Structure 1
Amino acid sequence: MEKTDLEKFSENVLRPADAKKAEAAERWAKDLALQPASFGTLEKVACWLAAVQDQCPPKPIERPRLVLFAGDHGIAALDVHGHRVTAQPPGTTAALVRLYAAGGGPASVLARSNDVGVRLVDVSVDCDEAELTEAGVPAEVTAGRVRRGTGRIDVERACTREEADAAFALGRALADAEIDAGADLLIPALLGAGHSTPAAVLVAALTGSDAAAVTGRGSGVDDAGWTVKCAAIRDALRLARPVLADQLELLAVSAGPDFAACVGFILQAASRRTPLLLDGIGATACALLAQRIAFRTPEWCLAAQLSPEPAHRKALDRLSLEPLLDFKIRAGAASGALLALPLVRAAVSVLAETPSYAEADLPEPTVRSAL
């Protein structure tokens, strides 16, 4: 397989959001018949969307799409004296795939209530495909599977370089398919037991942090489990740091196909000027790696929430993204992003439908504050 050329994203594909359009959006917001900074951060959200849509006022979000990248991680099987890096037992990821394929799970409920379409993709779940098929999981869910599970990243590679390349290409193709079908906002998310561990490894490697600074409780491990997880991240970093200069190799060594697919998805969406709503540590770690490939990537991203994972805050800080919500949400599958979506929609609707001072025949304030 021909290796993916990452340089084209940085040099040719990712064009910056129109700075003049962003300035025009800010001027438009200041001219609305509202007290200065009436809606605070939501005004910034509306201006951001106007800039990435290249339209002022911004268009309403009509067809948001959630894409779940499912995968297992070998590090989740690490067991030291009865303590593991995740509180989720083996087989959890396959069970989640069955659940979400049937329309269950909190994210499915939130997606339906917000009129968000969901695509579920088995990238590297550790179970027989026949097992999922017999459980009623549609064939298109497993059609793009790259491999079954991954290696333990504290002692070996997660996957081969060729598998990372294939997953990256899969993610790009999925972004194209969603955008071609009319998606106007994309929500990427990872679904799988133990994925916060490789996510923390990526964040630590890309920000120069040590293991203890990025290790969180994940699915709810106790103190002993946290210690095991921290040691695993420390050991995985020894393998990750030598390959930092090659981003796809880093994905192959320290993350796995589900992460590679998500990174490809984010980059392709940004290259096609489609806004992205980021949720938890998994997708945010992927966006951080995407930034290393193409530094303008964060211009197309909005952070939905801040999870309790310490690596999440580090990643958002490096991306210069401020989360909309801070509800300490641990639920995965982009639940936090789906909770934030109504705020994004409201920001667009309120500002787009508010008249200017001139249109409303109202006197303008004598002092204008910055957004």
Structure 2
Amino acid sequence: MHGEALRQAIEKIGPLDEDARARALAWQDDLTKVPGSLGDLEAFGVQLCAISGQCPPPVPAPGFVGVFEGDHGVQTNKVSPWPQEITYTMGVNLASGGASVSVLARHAGADYRLYNVGGLKELPEGDHIVNCRVAAGTADLTQGPAMTREQATEALDIGVEAARDAVSSGARALVPGELGIGNTTPAAALIAAYTGRPADAVTGRGAGADDEMLARKTRTVEQGLAANHVADQDALGILAGVGGLEHAAMAGFILGGAAARVPVVLDGVIAVSAALAAVALAPQARDYLFAGHLGPEPGLRVGLETLGLTPLIQLGMHLGEGSGAALALPVLAAAAKIMREMSHFSDGQVSGEREV
């Protein structure tokens, strides 16, 4: 029954452990360092404690990168300079280990898998490929809903189940990634719809749009928002109306991670648009999120501000696939290791008072 995995995940997402958070704050103050001197790394460690209910927290490793593939009917409006065939060829490249996210996942000691949830055609069978297509791409969002509510729900279920399988296989941090020519256009539409911001404030160049294409892309987002009456829709209606099958599956993956109480590390604008959908469906899921990085897409900044997330790294990346978040996984692991491995003032190994 479509929606059952989604329903179960949402029911399992609970609040963070505030007692563990309080213990973590005291723990940080006793570490042999100037309080606050490790900056955001300290806050990340505290959040890991609150997620896990343990202080110090378990190291969020190994990670698992779930990459969700989909194609988009909105590409008929020429919102990307690349042909849709690239979705398929990049999927093959990623699964064979040659994509950026494949390399960076290996670097982080993370496994990865590609879920073909909405590509125009099936991918070849392989160890890193799961063919689970809900449809061969989406409809053109400027003409009405990109997906039916049933299709969006089925894709959400696929993401939830992918997260559940990853965690049951030993993953202790999840990264939602994506592939799909044209998918920054529905991402911008989702961010606009969930935040109430205008299209021109959240629409960026994606994979190399020039000024003319960017203007056309912005108009396309505006048309999609109007055609789908997003102000009158619920969270699922927005996702089905202007999202993509990979956006829906990523949202399910995020919810599945939150239900399992493991940290979910977001990549770029597409992952953040999916996170906004996930949080609209289950608000407490926000507490399980970390921002992998901050790139140049305007919608990414808007989404992170809305979610209240601080990036783990900032290198100007905007490739997608989950690459920036995969690169950030060791930083998140370091936040846990600081709490687990640093000595404490109360141990007596370091003594002395500050001079004033």
TM-score range, shorter chain: over 0.9
User: 1:115-264 to 2 correspondence within 5 Å?
Assistant: 115-127=109-121, 129=122, 132-133=123-124, 137-138=125-126, 141-242=129-230, 245-264=233-252
Alpha-carbon distance in structure 1 between the residues aligned to 2:215 and 2:58: 48
1:221-370 pair list within 5 angstroms: 221-242=209-230, 245-363=233-351, 365=353
Instruction: Quote the Cα distance in structure 2 between the aligned partners of 1:365 and 1:152.
Output: 66
Per-residue deviation, residues 147-185 of structure 1 (Å, max 9, x unmatched)? 101111111321222211211111111111111111110
Displacement of 1:362 after TM fit?
2.4
CA distance in 2, matches of 1:283, 1:180: 23
Cα distance per residue 1:178-223 (max 9 Å; x no partner) = 1111111000112111111101101101111111111101001100
2:65 is aligned with what amino acid?
A: L
Instruction: Tell me how far 1:64 sits from its aligned partner.
Output: 0.7
Is 2:28–2:35's contact at 8 Å kept on the other side of the alignment?
no
Matched residue, 2:99: 105
Which residue identity lines up with residue 185 of structure 1 in the other structure? A
1:118–1:327: structure 2 CA closer, same or farther, 3 Å change rule? same
Question: Are the counterparts in 1 of residues 174 and 262 from structure 2 also a CA contact under 8 Å?
Answer: yes
Structure 1 residue 351: deviation in Å?
A: 2.9
Contact 1:4 1:165 survives alignment (8 Å): no
The more displaced of 137-146 and 338-347 is 137-146
2:103 alignment partner, SS class: helix
Aligned partner of 1:50 in structure 2 is 49
In the TM superposition, residue 2 of structure 1 has moved relative to its aligned partner by 5.3
SS at match of 1:187: strand
Question: Aligned residue for 2:72?
Answer: 73
Structure 1 position 3, deviation (Å): 5.1
Q: Aligned AA for 2:255?
A: L
| SS at 2:293 equivalent | coil
RMSD of aligned C-alpha atoms? 2.0
Structure 2 counterpart of 1:13, one-letter code: K
The alpha-carbon distance between structure 1 residues 5 and 272, as it changes in their structure 2 partners (threshold 3 A), is closer
Q: 1:97 to 1:232 in 2, by over 3 A?
A: same
For 1:148 and 1:167, how far apart are their aligned partners in 2?
Answer: 13
User: What is the rounded CA distance, in whole Å, between the counterparts of 2:227 and 2:5 in structure 1?
Assistant: 23
- SS, match of residue 304 in structure 1: strand
Report the 3-state secondary structure (helix = DSSP H, G, I; strand = E; otherwise coil) of the residue aligned with 1:121: strand
Deviation at 1:238, TM superposition (A): 0.7
Q: Equivalent of 1:87, from 81, 92, 97?
A: 81
Once the two structures are TM-superposed, the CA of residue 61 in structure 1 deviates from its matched residue by 2.7
Assess if the C-alpha contact under 8 Å between 2:113 and 2:128 holds in 1.
Answer: no
Given residue 85 of structure 2, which amino acid in structure 1 is its aligned partner? G
Q: Give the direction of change, closer, same or farther, for the CA distance of 1:111–1:142 in structure 2 (3 Å limit).
A: closer
1:271 shift after superposition? 1.5
Give 1:20 deviation, angstroms: 1.4
Shift of 1:143: 3.1
The letter for the 1-side match of 2:109 is D
Paired amino acid for 1:357: F
Distance across 1 between alignment mates of 2:202 and 2:246 = 20
**Partners of 1:94 and 1:5 in 2: how far apart?**
28
Q: CA 1:348 to 1:88, structure 2 compared with 1: closer, same or farther past 3 Å?
A: same
> Could you tell me how far 1:366 is from its partner in structure 2?
5.7
Greater mean alpha carbon deviation, residues 227-236 or residues 139-148: 139-148
| 1:6 Cα offset (Å) | 6.8
1:267, distance to aligned residue in structure 2 (A): 1.0
Query: What does residue 23 of structure 2 align with?
Result: 24
Are the aligned partners of 2:2 and 2:157 in contact in 1 as well (CA < 8 Å)? Answer: no
SS at structure 2 position matched to 1:154: helix
Residue deviations 1:277-313 (CA, integer Å, cap 9, x gap) = 1111111111111111111111101101112111111
* Contact 2:293–2:312 under 8 Å retained in 1: yes
Partners of 1:19 and 1:51 within 8 A in 2: yes
Mapped to 1, the partners of 2:4 and 2:199 lie a distance apart of 30
Deviations 1:206-248 (A, max 9, x none): 1111111111010011000001100000001113444654222
- How far 1:8 sits from its partner (Å)? 6.9
TM-score when normalising by structure 1: 0.90
5+ residue gaps in structure 1?
Answer: 79-83
- CA distance, structure 2, for counterparts of residue 175 and residue 116 of structure 1: 14
> What is the deviation of 1:139?
8.0
Assess if the C-alpha contact under 8 Å between 1:160 and 1:252 holds in 2. Answer: yes
